[in-house]
Structure 1
Amino acid sequence: MTDRIIAADVILTSPGRNYVTLKLRTADGLTGYGDATVNGRELAAASYLRDHVAPLLIGLDPARIEDTWQYLYRGAYWRRGPITMAAISAVDLALWDIKGKTAGLPVYQLLGGAVRDRVLSYTHASAWELPELLDAIDARRADGFKAVRAQSGVPGLETVYGVHAGGGYEPAKRGAVPVTESWDTDAYLRHVPDVLNAVREHVGPELALLHDAHHRLTPQQAARLGRSLEPANLFWLEDVTPAENQEALRLVRQHTTTPLAIGEVFNSIYDCKDLITGQLIDYIRVAVAHAGGISHLRNIFALADLYQVKAAPHGPSDVSPVSFGASVHVGLSTINFGIQEYMGYDALAHEVFPHSWSFADGYLHPGDAPGLGVEVDEALAAKFPYEPAYLPVARRLDGSMTDW
């Protein structure tokens, strides 16, 4: 008789921030872990997993990864969406983890093996004023990073996408309701080109320099920004306009040669199909925790490869070390993989999620432990219960809502 799933449990823990982890156990005594964290909606993801998905898994063959993916996607009728796809992602990752442990191999070997020796990564450098930003970038370079995302303050505002006057970068805030921030697009467009051009002059030509507009601009504003940043020779300009209006990227593309990256809020191939086939972007940013796990991510990246679009998965600290490790496995084994975001984790998260993936000299490697190479210290995880926390919302200076 083939092995069967005998238990599916949800672990909700907050070692520095909230994470939703799925734990699958098989009759053969193997354990697999997956990540279903959706920042600010963790309880919804946990409930969907616990109440609607976990009961369906008992008795299934853990070796049938693709069949289980199709069962959860096609069988639910209510398809897609961040909560559903995060839950499917968690199951998919846990099954790949079990598959690797069964075979005694790291997951990247099951995906065809390594196509590179290591995975290029980038991190964040944020500060309100330019001198402090330059210091922060120098510190990240000293840490070994070859690529840095630079975010700065804007005169007249108190916060700008996670950057606070007098403080560093951390968007999510603990509390019962989201923090409200003020936003001024014109001030941003006046200020940020000078900042990034100054950064380029400071760091020289070799550092890969990235910037995130975080969905704040209209297509025309995005085109203007992309053109004004051409002297800075960015590695990419990220999320210039809300991703729902995919045709908007055509206008931006027509007016700038600055490389464009988008997709961290996407959760299926259907969200990014037109952007990829229309060659309207250079990097697709879907995350393994939010876009159906390894199985679906591979489909998206294979489509992207046909159109010379590179993979660059979202990797903030609000996806857990489980899915981050999975992303590095995919990166090592995917030919059109471009770069992996590595924001880093609270020290407690490293303790709760001991892992084989590692960072050195600007690059990541998933390690060679069987499966995903990430475990969960459940006793330690239990010491850090869930705490309500939300990403901010944003209003323009006239009080009207805008995209955060």
Structure 2
Amino acid sequence: MKITDVKIFVCSPGRNFVTVKIYTDQGLTGIGDATLNGREKAVVAYLEDHLVPLLIGRDAARIEDTWQYLYRGAYWRRGPVTMAAIAGIDMALWDIKAKAAGMPLYELLGGASRDRLMCYGHAQGGDIAEAVESVGALIDEGYRAVRVQSGIPGLPPVYGADGTSTNGAAENALPREELWSTSKYLRHAPKLFEAVREAHGWDVELLHDVHHRLTPIEAARLGKDLEPYRLFWLEDAVAAEHQEGFRLIRNHTTTPIAVGEVFNTIWDARLLIEEQLIDYIRMTSVHAGGITPMRRIADFAGLHNVRTGAHGAMDMSPICLASNIHLGFWVPNFGIQEYSGYSEETLEVFPGTWSMADGHLYPGHGPGHGVEFDEDLAERYPFERSYLPVNRLEDGTLWHW
């Protein structure tokens, strides 16, 4: 089964998404997600100018060889642009292979290890009272796990507290600048989780995202302060480059640690996994190079008592979410799946067989990964330039967002 054509689509039904569609001489097609938020056009150029010409005439069934050809065959490896581009191709090829086999993707990976996937939703508020109310609303919807963020007294709205993550999509839009104070945050976070536990008890799993803003010793202090509230995990406590710093965090707190949404290859996480410095690896299909490497990463993590917790923000298309769901259905060491939801427009452009009910995700049982792409509808939503915010300390120093 030969690849005859590859097309790249960019649309913005609420968010910008990059979609790869591969055509074969047997009439089967497959689609993959190649979205890199805020740098979408860089991935498009990498695909159209460098990778697509290499694919025409290749055997669509040789997924492993194609992945190695695109990754190992390039002298300049890794990086978010390269790995997102390879991911879009890899997902599309797995979609084709599962369709050719007439089975859902998780069956092709080795079959289901469970019946459903626990997912977590996002609760947020401008202050603690609003955040506590938001947690209650998600519990009422059936969620068993909730990520909780709130505004910080003395600061304008910060990440995760105001429900926005971009600066809009106007042609002249520039990144929104946010303000940060570590000392104010460290005093505030324990009060947030004390209030949530007091209001909602202990039957709900609670998660929290620091978004890479602390030093290792600050993260260790926060983890220790949060121990009484039994978090499911503390996410992205320090900058992802600080792998050795996780040793200090691990030595000072028993709060479970999660990291990895900005990682691109296993080399970004090798030390963290080998030394069991984390409890959950948050790498996701689109940013880690696709389904092929995610299988290896999950197996490697499983050998070291690390479970999966794939990134699932709304700036990755439903194709990526579906791929993560199928991987989660198969992988023995599944932990949890993030689910932040999609706009109605996004779900119309990317209709799929996956579903969410009572705080759990289900992949559906049709062939492939189960997501389609409405090309005609996508044309109504052209690309709109936008950025993620940037962050500054109160004295003006640029900081991690």
The answer, yes or no, to whether TM exceeds 0.5 is: yes
2:53 matched to 1:55?
yes
2:362 aligned partner, one-letter code: H
Alpha-carbon distance in 2 for matches of 1:131, 1:155: 12
2:132 touches 2:195 (CA, 8 Å); kept in 1? no
Of 132, 136, 139, 2:137 maps to 139
Per-residue CA shift, 1:286-316, capped at 9, x if unaligned? 0111001111001011000001000110000
Give the equivalent residue in structure 2 for 1:14.
12
2:140 aligned partner, one-letter code: A
SS at match of 1:32: strand
Per-residue CA shift, 1:243-271, capped at 9, x if unaligned? 10100000001000000000000010000
1:24 aligned partner, one-letter code: I
Give the equivalent residue in structure 2 for 1:172.
166
Of 378, 381, 385, 1:384 maps to 381
Which runs of 5 or more structure 1 residues have no equivalent in the other structure?
none
SS at match of 2:347: helix
2:313 matched to 1:316?
yes
Give the equivalent residue in structure 1 for 2:157.
159
2:206 matched to 1:220?
no
Alpha-carbon distance in 2 for matches of 1:21, 1:170: 24
Give the equivalent residue in structure 2 for 1:89.
87
Alpha-carbon distance in 2 for matches of 1:209, 1:366: 24
1:140 aligned partner, one-letter code: L
Which runs of 5 or more structure 2 residues have no equivalent in the other structure?
none
Aligned CA RMSD, in angstroms, stands at 0.7
Alpha-carbon distance in 1 for matches of 2:380, 2:65: 36
Alpha-carbon distance in 2 for matches of 1:47, 1:203: 48
What's the CA shift for 1:118? 0.7
Per-residue CA shift, 1:307-355, capped at 9, x if unaligned? 1000110000001000110000000000001000000000100000000
Give the equivalent residue in structure 1 for 2:67.
69
Alignment of 1:280-359 (within 5 A): 280-359=277-356
1:108 aligned partner, one-letter code: Y
SS at match of 1:188: helix
Alignment of 1:123-138 (within 5 A): 123-138=121-136
SS at match of 2:326: helix
Give the equivalent residue in structure 2 for 1:262.
259
Alpha-carbon distance in 1 for matches of 2:249, 2:164: 29
The answer to which of 176-185 and 280-289 deviates more is 176-185
What's the CA shift for 1:197? 1.5
1:228 aligned partner, one-letter code: D
Question: Which 4+ stretches in 1 moved above 3 angstroms?
Answer: none
Alpha-carbon distance in 1 for matches of 2:188, 2:161: 15
TM-score, normalising length from structure 2? Answer: 0.98
2:164 aligned partner, one-letter code: E
2:150 touches 2:160 (CA, 8 Å); kept in 1? no
Give the equivalent residue in structure 2 for 1:78.
76
Give the equivalent residue in structure 2 for 1:122.
120
Give the equivalent residue in structure 1 for 2:38.
40
Per-residue CA shift, 1:166-212, capped at 9, x if unaligned? xxx12122243211111111110111111112111211111000000
- The aligned length equals 398
2:24 aligned partner, one-letter code: T
Give the equivalent residue in structure 2 for 1:374.
371
TM-score, normalising length from structure 1? Answer: 0.98
1:51 aligned partner, one-letter code: D
Per-residue CA shift, 1:366-402, capped at 9, x if unaligned? 1111001000000000100000111100011111111
Alignment of 1:89-108 (within 5 A): 89-108=87-106
What's the CA shift for 1:76? 1.4
SS at match of 2:269: helix
What's the CA shift for 1:96? 0.2
Per-residue CA shift, 1:80-101, capped at 9, x if unaligned? 0000000111111000000011
The answer to which of 258-267 and 41-50 deviates more is 41-50
